[in-house]
Structure 1
Amino acid sequence: MKNLSFLSASVLALCVSVPSLAQNDPWVEVITITAPRMAPDVQDVDIDHSPVMGADAAGLVSRLPGAALVKNGALTGQVQVRGLFGPRIAIRLDGQGFASGGPNLMDPPLSYAPLALVERLEVTRGAAPVSQGPGLGAGVNAVFKRVAFSPDETFIPTHDVSASYRSVDDSWSVGTLAGIANDRHRVGALYSYETGGDLSTPYGDLKGLDHHRLSYGLEYGVKLNALSELGLSVRRQEVDDTATPALGMDIRYIDTTMSRFNAKTELEGWQIAAHVGHTRVDHGMNNFDQRPAPMAMMWRETLASAETWSARLDGRHSLAGGELSVGMDYEQARHSATVLNPNNPGFLVTPFTDIEMTRHGLYAQWQGEAAQWQISAGARLDAHKAEAGSPLIGPALPMGPRMLKMAYDRADRTHTDMTFDGVVRGLYAVRDDMDLRLIVHRKSRVASYVERFAWLPMAASGGLADGNTYVGDLNLDPEVSTGLEVGLDWQTQRAYLRPSVHYTFVDNYIQGVAFDDTPAVVNTPTEMVSAMNGDATPLRFANVDARLYGIDGDFGVRLSPSWRVDGTVSFIRGERADISDDLYRLAPANLRVGLSYDQARWSATLEAFAVAKQDKVSKTNSEAETPGYVVINTFGQWQLNDHVQISAGIENLLDQRYREHLAGYNRNAGLGVGVGQRLPGAGRGAWLRLHSAF
């Protein structure tokens, strides 16, 4: 089985199915976590039709065409959409953006969205509209469950409870929303807890892969009158002793508090909405508690923090037969990180000190009909400022880091940028059952604080997890992507087909490159310090040119009232445009197809996921190739009554040996696979989920 070519894997996959992803909004994929809460006219993929394959919400998004999961740990998954991931994807929680806590992205945004507490995930098809903020690629918004106002003054209680178990990593989770509301007031409480352990794979058990996440919060909303409403929410999340084997350290704790105040009203025909948000993340990690400890002099513990303030004001008004949206937004993020050796009080260094990233944005967007086209067109202007303080360094550090600190202190550590974005989307009805989609975009992203301010060579890469040592560049220019997407939506009562072809060129793409012109020769202070840390060939973040192109889509056919076939296909290529090399960590071509049997109260699906080999890899990042594989899953659901649903399934039914290309390389000597090897995929295992809502 493991030696099947992609072609033969695709033929096998034609026997099996995934749920339909077709839905009414032509621009947004809606993945519903609790289907009963969605309007009946929304076609969706709810969690009860999706396998439980971990606690990571990013894994659910990865089932969409063009999307993939970049996995660095059980709770450290990132969404990749059409080759872009990390800070290039605009990810929000209830519309609120914020900065992750650590320099290696151990807490990517969707790690703050436990599936048991999420109502739906909204994923923009193609480049995100300017109203969703800056970022090169798609937009993802996780909408949390909340108590809804009731129709009259009688207070009505509500609850939503879910629980699940997964045998392959002995993990379980429980989550609940409970509250009470009438037509003026609503109060709700959220709670979830998840834990898991060692992962069973066909290569053997992977040891020391515990994860623990506790989330809880309160929300309150009040209607002042028929047009005005206020809301306040506070959430707390605590992650303890969670493994990240693809990174140099494991999570000791991530303690996060998120609060948000929002208001909306109507005034002179304008619908006005505003919010103010605050997030504080405190993060500790080390290389000795959850993996074999190195010699005492190499113990490392990093204490990091991030604090984000955000604000937004939006207004909508009818204009020229459509709707005009205008708005302004603000975001300020402060970062710091300190590296210690608990065995040596004199060993202290702050690779990131008093960093402040500020953005002020303005946007305007119009949506309506023109010349038989449905049009959405918008423009955005953002002013960015980034600055950093002077590092601290303890007496135990040698002369090399001190020399680098002195050079950094003399440099201008303040940088400003102006970026301009524009997105035009068009939808043309070719005929009653077929629409033509067209998207033209220019989008931008400024360098992250790691890419700009990393003065000390270390393996902090913003989540790349490639094992390389990096330093930043204070003078990085913003990335600017220019792209075109053409798609076709065909749908009848029995079948649908939605392919998209896309091409994007990125000026000033930020990529790790060789530190200097003599990478094999250690002849600079940076290379000397990096060599002391185990990497004699450090990489430097730099502006290069890149292009990404591909095709993706979903399809399905209703074979009979009870039988249907659905699937997705994805192909993406990413290349450096200035040299002959491929971009790092891009998902291989894949096909997900399946066969489902539906009845009034139950359904069952047999699914195959066929993945091509990936030999288009980055030489710059020393990326290893991976072979193709096929994984078979089966799952189903039973609607016990109007309020209770049971789901179950078996993942990797044939216990196939495989390694996901987007999985990281192991850096934990006690894991059970060699250090430097790509992490293997999960073996055969069963899962069970219960969901109840009243």
Structure 2
Amino acid sequence: MSKVSASRAFRRRVSLCLLSSAASLGLSAPALAQEATALPDIDIDSTAGRDSAPATAERIDRSDLRARQTGSSDTAKLLQSVPGVSGYSAGGFSTLPAIRGLEAQRLGITVDGVTIASACPNDMNPPLSYTDPQTISSIGVITGVSPMSLGGDSIGGIIAVETAPPQFAQTGETLLTGEASAFYRSNGDGFGGALSLIVASDTLSLTYNGSYTQAENFEGGGPLGIVRSSEFAKTDHSLNLAAQTDIGLFELKGGYHFSPYEGFPNQYMDMTSNKSWFVNGHYAGAFDWGDLDVRGHYRKTDHEMNFLDDKGGTADGGMPMNTQVRQAGYDVKADILLGEAGTLRIGNEFQHQWLNDYWPPVAGSMMMGPNPYINVNGAKRDRLGTFIEWEKSWESGVTLIAGVRNDQVWMNTGDVAPYGTGMMQMADMMAAAAFNAADHRRHDSNWSGSALLRYDLSDMVTVELGYARKTRSPNIYERYTWGRGSMSSRMIGWFGDGNGYVGNLDLKPEKADTLSAALTLRDGGEEGWSFKVAPYHTRVTDYIDVVKLQDFTDMMGMPTGFVQLQFANQDAEIYGVDASGSVPLWSDERFGKGRLSAKASWLRGRNESDGAPLYHQMPLSGTVSLEHKLDGFETRIDLTWAADKNRVDPTRNEPRTAGYALLDAQIAYSWKNYRFTLAAENLFDKAYSAPLGGMSLGDYNATGVLRPVPGRGRSINAGFGVKF
């Protein structure tokens, strides 16, 4: 049995234990349930939780996640229910979210208020890969202009993932409560489970969250067959100790993430190990003058890439690639009450990232030896951010949030080296010499600001206008990767296109000017109808795109269809509109409640420097949903569709994709503390390719046929959950 096979067998046994544990906990659930004291929400990180939240803010709460977690272990995929949110396909739990045409590197993403730095040249372990829908409490998403208090060093929207806040018992009592879940998915033989457990007194609370998920290669719709390199497995565990005192809430949280493997259909490499542990400290206090929120964090990540079985395995050494990342920082924010003058927010944060990326030599290989390839040598990226923000509401229904911030970014790295000095390494040898001769130190002083004006004309009508000037400095891989060889450059990039990427020491920070608006109409509260339309326009100066260096050729000198590209500053424009609505169809004691919902998004992205479409921009797309609730039964039917994608980036040879419509159906039954779910994904087994799926390099390696990554075929999913 191979190492990978043995690991899978072991993980399967672990998962079966989780599944049986969920069932056994359910049997004793009524006896364990006790009344809990929920902690008041004083977290100023989540604007989506305020009454003054932007009109483009959406909140996915625990009940929404519980209804969707049976179908996916990929948090970013679940976010695509929000208008304006899409995703770059990647591994089974590592989709890269995109908001209004701007991908993950340009977004502000936090998990429990903490930014998680990139730790892979292919971005195989993005921030949301360290989360599991089964143990998330809520996700806040802002697709439009966001307040400066929610972070800097980004030019796009906001994604804020929160795990459950601590719970405390009534005075003099002990609380034992929690939730367990398990699932099975037929397509890819995916299964897993999770457990959340809280033990608390009236002043101390201990919370454990653990999850495991695994799947084999999935099958594409219709005749598209197996999608190679799509298997994955991972486990996440965390322990949070909280103390509720007279001066506020104190939390100390630690956790561990391990993925023994994750295949990537649209990358040359696969992830063969990702180990990460973290410790976070948090204080939140409410005072007469306002609120204070303090966070500190540290994370250590060790990441390995190589080939899984579908790409040849590692019996001959493969091509090992290792990345080490250490991250630390703090974040201090204060809300100062000004009485009738509103609220003043001030804050300061520091984020430190250290990254080492090297590729060990392969014994007997003339190309990959005799020395390690030093891709990034101890790079440092430090950011010091400071903001001030004012919020004021008037009795007329007008609310204004305006703020400015400054982010100082310092970057540096050491000298690099190719595998060797032979003829096969000539391009990399010359590139390394040029890189080492240059000054690596960079310093960016980035100013940003935003203003949101919201007017509640009545209980039925809200209008919002927003403007933001936001700035983002290049990441370590955009600035400091240097390889010019065919193989070395193709190891860089998170775009799933098979092309090679080269960094650029001369990159400038991106500067985005965004205008957004939103009109919200509603009547009847949560049970009534609603409609929202939100247009936007973004112009990015020094947008980090690419320029072509050369065509890659085969041994006969013929073009392969892949190219070598270098990151370069250009100008870009993105504009579009998101729309969503919901209307009740019926409400009757005998027939229950029915509701029809719909959303649609349209955008255009254009490189103003060369006139071509921007890479990976979603075509017109949307979803129509019909929901029915009767007693403990919940039924949902979703029709998800996308138009033809004909606007493609010619520089990267981006593929066109045909339009499609997919039908999903789900029925759930809740009884006491139990929930049973049965769902059919892609019910008619439609063959299609996701517009942002990239090229199926795993299949190309095995068959020699190059195609876009197929979309997932029909899957019958079953889930079980219990609260106790």
TM-score by length of 2: 0.86
Q: Report how far residue 554 of structure 1 moved.
A: 1.1
Q: Select which of 364, 369, 393 maps to 2:388.
A: 364
Distance 2:272 2:115 in 1: 24
Q: Report how far residue 127 of structure 1 moved.
A: 2.8
Q: Report how far residue 340 of structure 1 moved.
A: 2.8
- Conserved in 2, the CA contact under 8 Å of 1:650 and 1:684? yes
Distance 2:451 2:703 in 1: 48
Distance 2:275 2:645 in 1: 37
The residue type paired with residue 392 of structure 1 is: A
Distance 1:672 1:500 in 2: 45
Distance 2:56 2:378 in 1: 39
- Structure 1 window deviating more from structure 2 (590-599 vs 382-391): it is 590-599
Residue 576 of structure 1 aligns with which residue?
607
The secondary structure found in structure 1 opposite 2:241 is strand
TM-score by length of 1: 0.89
- Structure 1 window deviating more from structure 2 (23-32 vs 481-490): it is 23-32
The secondary structure found in structure 1 opposite 2:514 is strand
The yes-or-no answer on 1:214 pairing with 2:235 is: yes
1:599-647 C-alpha deviation (Å, 9 max, x unpaired) = 1321211110111001111011110111100001111221111x22222
1:1-53 C-alpha deviation (Å, 9 max, x unpaired) = xxxxxxxxxxxxxxxxxxxx999743521111x33xxxxxxxxxx02443743
For structure 2, the residue ranges without an aligned partner over 5 or more in a row are 1-47, 588-592
In the TM superposition, 1:531-546 aligns within 5 A as 537-546=563-572
Q: Report how far residue 576 of structure 1 moved.
A: 0.6
Distance 1:412 1:183 in 2: 57
- Structure 1 window deviating more from structure 2 (121-130 vs 252-261): it is 121-130
In the TM superposition, 1:605-620 aligns within 5 A as 605-620=636-651
Residue 352 of structure 1 aligns with which residue?
376
Distance 2:315 2:198 in 1: 52
Describe the shift of the 1:340–1:675 C-alpha distance in structure 2 as closer, same or farther (beyond 3 A).
farther
The yes-or-no answer on 1:249 pairing with 2:276 is: no
1:234-277 C-alpha deviation (Å, 9 max, x unpaired) = 01000012111211111110000121011123456142111110
The yes-or-no answer on 1:555 pairing with 2:578 is: no
Describe the shift of the 1:22–1:603 C-alpha distance in structure 2 as closer, same or farther (beyond 3 A).
farther
For structure 1, the residue ranges without an aligned partner over 5 or more in a row are 1-20, 36-45
- Conserved in 2, the CA contact under 8 Å of 1:433 and 1:490? yes
In the TM superposition, 1:274-289 aligns within 5 A as 274-287=294-307, 289=309
1:174-220 C-alpha deviation (Å, 9 max, x unpaired) = 01111211221001112111011121222112344321101112110
Residue 40 of structure 2 aligns with which residue?
none
Residue 124 of structure 1 aligns with which residue?
142
Residue 472 of structure 1 aligns with which residue?
503
Residue 13 of structure 2 aligns with which residue?
none
Q: Report how far residue 116 of structure 1 moved.
A: 1.2
In the TM superposition, 1:415-564 aligns within 5 A as 415-457=442-484, 458-493=489-524, 494-515=528-549, 519=550, 537-561=563-587, 562-564=593-595
- Conserved in 1, the CA contact under 8 Å of 2:56 and 2:518? no
Q: Select which of 322, 328, 332 maps to 1:303.
A: 322
Q: Select which of 31, 51, 57 maps to 1:28.
A: 57
Residue 629 of structure 2 aligns with which residue?
598
Q: Select which of 335, 357, 373 maps to 2:355.
A: 335
Identity %: 22
Distance 2:457 2:308 in 1: 62
The secondary structure found in structure 2 opposite 1:546 is strand
- Conserved in 2, the CA contact under 8 Å of 1:436 and 1:489? yes
Distance 1:585 1:674 in 2: 24
Distance 2:558 2:420 in 1: 17
Q: Report how far residue 496 of structure 1 moved.
A: 0.7
The secondary structure found in structure 2 opposite 1:452 is helix
Distance 1:27 1:183 in 2: 37
The residue type paired with residue 140 of structure 1 is: I
- Conserved in 2, the CA contact under 8 Å of 1:460 and 1:469? yes
Q: Report how far residue 594 of structure 1 moved.
A: 1.9
The residue type paired with residue 29 of structure 1 is: E
Residue 45 of structure 2 aligns with which residue?
none
Describe the shift of the 1:406–1:310 C-alpha distance in structure 2 as closer, same or farther (beyond 3 A).
same
Q: Report how far residue 399 of structure 1 moved.
A: 3.2
Distance 1:206 1:405 in 2: 37
The residue type paired with residue 426 of structure 1 is: L
Distance 1:532 1:614 in 2: 28
Q: Report how far residue 68 of structure 1 moved.
A: 0.8
Distance 2:177 2:231 in 1: 33
Distance 1:652 1:619 in 2: 31
Aligned length: 651
Q: Report how far residue 460 of structure 1 moved.
A: 4.2
Q: Report how far residue 89 of structure 1 moved.
A: 0.8
Residue 229 of structure 1 aligns with which residue?
249
Q: Which has the higher contact order (CA 8 A, sep 6+)?
A: 1
In the TM superposition, 1:64-463 aligns within 5 A as 64-134=82-152, 135-201=154-220, 202=222, 203-225=224-246, 227-266=247-286, 269-287=289-307, 289-292=309-312, 299-319=318-338, 320-344=340-364, 346-370=370-394, 372-395=397-420, 397=422, 398-457=425-484, 458-463=489-494
Distance 1:377 1:68 in 2: 28
Distance 2:704 2:536 in 1: 38
The secondary structure found in structure 2 opposite 1:401 is helix
Distance 2:363 2:421 in 1: 11
Distance 2:441 2:215 in 1: 43
- Structure 1 window deviating more from structure 2 (276-285 vs 598-607): it is 598-607
- Structure 1 window deviating more from structure 2 (206-215 vs 488-497): it is 206-215
